[in-house]
A and B are shown apart, each in its own frame.
Chain A
């Protein structure tokens, strides 16, 4: 089944404890992206990647890191989480048509709470 998977789905952690949220897709998509969703603010992009070893900042990259060593995986790293990073996180992937992304497919979400 074609899908985007995220792990963990739920995570409660404490300030400053490094964590990684994994994202994997099995559709051979070039493009992958991370979003966070907060009440009243819609989805905001954190980082995106147009291909292996190619990543770029979105609207709200502060406090996050990403890597794209393999086409299928795009982990989101919080080196020192803070309470303002408590949010619902979504990973997405899609094909590229030339320089543009096509339809994006979203993972199920990771609900992160930082105490």
Chain B
């Protein structure tokens, strides 16, 4: 799996869009970008994943740069319940997920 780099923490005002960046400059051509989040000490929760194209689901949007060296997770209208640690992972879908320390996102009322 390619190494990913994320800022350790971010704040976002409630109701605004939260944009979480991730750098994966060594990603290989068939590695996907996955995003998970962990609310307090609950089990990590899958959010979204993509390979090349931008993706959107009911939770978030994923924007991947054309060179695939970085991506941004967008939570369009952040709520207090989105306060969590967000993990960006670049993987083939290997049997092991390597979680780094992620970005601690705090939604400010």
- A contact set with B: CB distance below 8 Å: 4, 31, 33, 40, 42-43, 45, 48, 50, 56, 58-59, 88, 90, 92, 97, 100-109, 111
Contacts and interface: CB of A to CB of B under 8 A. Distances in A.
B101 A42 contact: yes
B41 to A, nearest CB: 6
Q: Determine chain A's interface SS by DSSP, over half rule.
A: strand
20 contacts: A42-B100, A43-B97, A43-B99, A45-B97, A48-B95, A58-B96, A59-B96, A88-B41, A90-B43, A92-B97, A100-B95, A101-B93, A103-B34, A103-B46, A104-B44, A104-B97, A106-B44, A106-B45, A108-B42, A108-B43
Contact of A107 (B43, B46, B101): B43
Interface of B: 34, 41-46, 49, 92-102
Given A97-B93, A104-B97, 5 more contacts: A31-B95, A42-B101, A90-B44, A101-B93, A109-B42
Contact of B92 (A58, A100, A107, A108): A100
Contact of A100 (B93, B98, B102): B93
A48 B97 CA distance: 11
A101 B42 contact: no
A88 B96 CA distance: 18
Contacts of B99: 42-43
Contacts of A31: 95
B88 to A, nearest CB: 12
**Interface hub of B34, B41, B94, B97 (most chain A Cβ within 10 A):** B97
Contacts of B93: 97, 100-102
A40 B99 CA distance: 11
A22 to B, nearest CB: 15
Contacts of A97: 93
Which residue among B46, B100, B101 has the maximum number of chain A CB atoms within 10 Å of its CB?
B46
A101 B49 CA distance: 13
A67 B70 CA distance: 39
A101 B95 contact: yes
A50 B100 CA distance: 23
